[in-house]
């Protein structure tokens, strides 16, 4: 191995490594240009209602990803159903989706799951004076059921159908969360379904309103039987206020799951950056501190559980092994630069090997051309001495001296492995000089 390295050094030494340096500089320059022109440093995320929980999470992710050099573009819609449509159309790279929307994963071959993010309880707020005890009591009432295209309406419609309630049996209001909050507190609605986290500011606002109450889902086991994707949550008495004992008793709710779904071909580094940012945001919001409230128990978010599509390959590795070694210590741009090197290095290696093989031959050919020009002058001097009887020996010796000086300057930096040709040249130069000196004497 040592002998091989020495030979390689001897082959390249005449170039003083500048040629190899130029090749490497070109390689990294091309890589840098490609990385800056084609790096996927933008990611679009469909988040639904701009006033909803998903939009709030999206804004937090936007800040985290910006710190990593990635621009997150938030796309708003009516809700989870519309988000799913945006994914299918390729308008969004990823989306926050409510569980229960994807009943046949095979129908979405181009989509993959990235993670489940947190439990989303389904709240039914109603006017306390109505004294509701079941969803069946909503018959004939004015009820906010979520916007068309939202996951809330998709779920509520199925739940009410189990109570033999159809849209004509009650007054369905397809309004945003902001509007339903205002109308419910103003008495323009009898009840409103809301899918949101238990620490959502909107939930806290409504649950603290003395004119409103929350329907406990006592039949949660039956709901889970008919809809296996539903979970259970119990908000303990006094969770929102120990002083005022809000809620007044343990409050059982059914829950959905907020999930992140992405295009199957989303770059693995973007997926990893998204997962790292999710973990940072959820840790900051103390989402995992609320897990004892859930029957799911000890899982930590983001999680690979409760997803409805096959996991993205990068997500599989992330949940099995954690963030990659490089991701822990390098920025996203450095990671992408390193990932591009391996793709450029493969075609560059044959070129580099060819350069190592051909360069010495090319150098020898250049040396041969240079000596050929000098030999031409030397032959001319010798021919003049032999054929021109009137030739002045002093003048010819002067020309030989000049030729020697010029060639010495050119050949001074020739490496040892090529000195044989140089010494042949010097010997021939001396022979001609000796010949002229002898004739002159």
Q: What is the pTM of this model?
A: 0.68
Give the pLDDT score at 321.
82
Q: CA-to-CA distance for 314 and 318, rounded, in angstroms?
A: 6
Count Cβ atoms within 10 A of the Cβ of residue 352 and give its class: 0-12 exposed, 13-18 middle, 19 or more buried: middle
Q: CA-to-CA distance for 277 and 65, rounded, in angstroms?
A: 6
Give the pLDDT score at 224.
92
Give the pLDDT score at 2.
43
Q: Distance between terminal CA atoms of the chain?
A: 58
Give the pLDDT score at 376.
87
All domains in the chain, ordered by first residue: 2-14+346-440 (no CATH), 39-329 (3.40.190.10)
pLDDT tens, residue by residue, 177-223: 999 999 999 999 999 999 988 888 999 999 999 999 999 999 999 99
CA-CA distances (angstroms) from residue 317 to 3, 110, 268, 300? Answer: 42, 19, 10, 16
- Please say whether the beta carbons of 170 and 138 come within 8 A: yes
Which of 15, 16, 126, 97 has the alpha carbon at shortest distance from 308? 97
Backbone angles phi, psi at 97, to 5 degrees: -125, 145
Sign of the alpha-carbon torsion through 17, 18, 24, 27: negative
Q: CA-to-CA distance for 170 and 135, rounded, in angstroms?
A: 11
3-state SS string for the chain: CHHHHHHHHHHHHHHCCHHHHHHHHHHHHHHHHHHHHHCCCEEEEEEECCCCHHHHHHHHHHHHHHHCCCEEEEEECCCHHHHHHHHHHCCCCEEEEECCCCCCHHHCCCEEEEEEEEEEEEEEEEEHHHCCCCHHHHCCCEEECCCCCCHHHHHHHHHHHHCCCCHHHCEEECCCHHHHHHHHHCCCCCEEEEECCCCCHHHHHHHCCCCEEECCCCCHHHHHHHCCCCEEEEECCCCCECCCCECCCCEEEEEEEEEEEEECCCCHHHHHHHHHHHHHHHHHCCHHHHHHHECCCCCCCCECCCCCCCECHHHHHHHHHCCCHHHHHCCHHHHHHHHHHHHHHHHHHHHHHHHHHHHHHHHHHHHHHHHHHHHHHHHHHHHHHHHCCCCCHHHHHHHHHHHHHHHHHHHCCCCHHHHHHHHHHHHHHHHHHHHHHHHHC
Question: Strand pairing partners for 258?
Answer: 98, 118
Angle between helices 419-440 and 332-387 (to 10 degrees): 20
Name residues of the chain where pLDDT drops below 70.
1-39, 286-299, 324-348, 351-352, 354-356, 358-359, 389-390, 440-441
- Please say whether the beta carbons of 258 and 287 come within 8 A: no
The strand pair at 111-127 and 231-235 is best described as unpaired
Which of 342, 331, 340 has the alpha carbon at shortest distance from 272? 331
pLDDT tens, residue by residue, 275-308: 999 999 988 875 555 555 554 444 678 999 889 9
Give the pLDDT score at 200.
87
Count Cβ atoms within 10 A of the Cβ of residue 186 and give its class: 0-12 exposed, 13-18 middle, 19 or more buried: exposed
Query: How many CA atoms lie less than 13 Å away from 87 in the CB half-sphere?
Result: 29
Torsion of CA 170, 103, 198, 304, to 10 degrees: 180
């Amino acid at each position: 191995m040592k002998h091989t390295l020495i030979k390689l050094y001897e082959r390249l030494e005449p170039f003083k490594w500048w040629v190899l340096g130029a090749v490497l500089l070109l390689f990294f320059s091309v890589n840098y240009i490609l990385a800056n022109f084609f790096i996927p440093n933008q990611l679009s995320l469909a988040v639904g209602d701009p006033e909803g929980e998903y939009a709030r999470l999206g804004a937090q992710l936007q800040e985290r990803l910006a710190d990593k050099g990635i621009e997150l573009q938030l796309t708003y819609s009516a809700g989870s159903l519309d988000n799913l449509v945006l994914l299918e159309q390729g308008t969004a790279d990823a989306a926050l989706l409510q569980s229960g929307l994807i009943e046949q994963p095979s129908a979405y071959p181009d989509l993959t799951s990235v993670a489940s993010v947190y439990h989303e309880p389904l709240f039914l707020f109603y006017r306390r004076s109505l004294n509701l005890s079941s969803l069946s009591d909503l018959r004939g009432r004015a009820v906010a059921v979520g916007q068309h295209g939202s996951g809330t309406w998709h779920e509520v419609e199925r739940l009410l159908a189990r109570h033999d309630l159809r849209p004509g049996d009650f007054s369905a209001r397809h309004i945003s969360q902001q509007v339903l909050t205002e109308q419910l507190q103003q008495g323009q609605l009898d009840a409103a379904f809301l899918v949101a986290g238990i620490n959502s500011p909107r939930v806290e606002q409504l649950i603290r309103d003395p004119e409103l109450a929350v329907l406990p889902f006592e039949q949660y086991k039956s709901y889970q039987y008919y809809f296996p994707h539903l979970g259970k949550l119990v908000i303990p008495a006094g969770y929102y206020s120990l002083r005022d004992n809000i809620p007044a008793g343990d409050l059982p709710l059914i829950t959905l799951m907020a999930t992140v779904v992405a295009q199957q071909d989303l770059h693995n580094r973007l997926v990893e950056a998204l997962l790292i940012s999710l973990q940072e945001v959820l840790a900051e919001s103390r989402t995992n501190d609320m897990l004892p409230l859930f029957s799911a128990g000890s899982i930590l978010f983001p999680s690979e559980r409760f997803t409805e599509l096959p996991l993205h390959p990068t997500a599989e590795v992330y949940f099995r092994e954690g963030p990659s070694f490089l991701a822990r210590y390098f920025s996203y741009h450095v990671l992408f630069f390193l990932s591009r090197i391996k793709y450029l290095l493969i075609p560059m290696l044959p070129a580099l090997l060819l350069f190592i093989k051909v360069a010495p031959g090319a150098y020898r050919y250049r040396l041969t051309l240079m000596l050929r020009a000098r030999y031409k002058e030397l032959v001319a001097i010798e021919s003049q001495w032999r054929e021109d009887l009137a030739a002045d020996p002093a003048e010819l010796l002067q020309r030989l001296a000049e030729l020697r000086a010029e060639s010495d300057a050119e050949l001074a930096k020739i490496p040892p492995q090529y000195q044989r040709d140089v010494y042949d040249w010097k010997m021939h130069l001396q022979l001609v000089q000796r010949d002229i000196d002898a004739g002159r004497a």
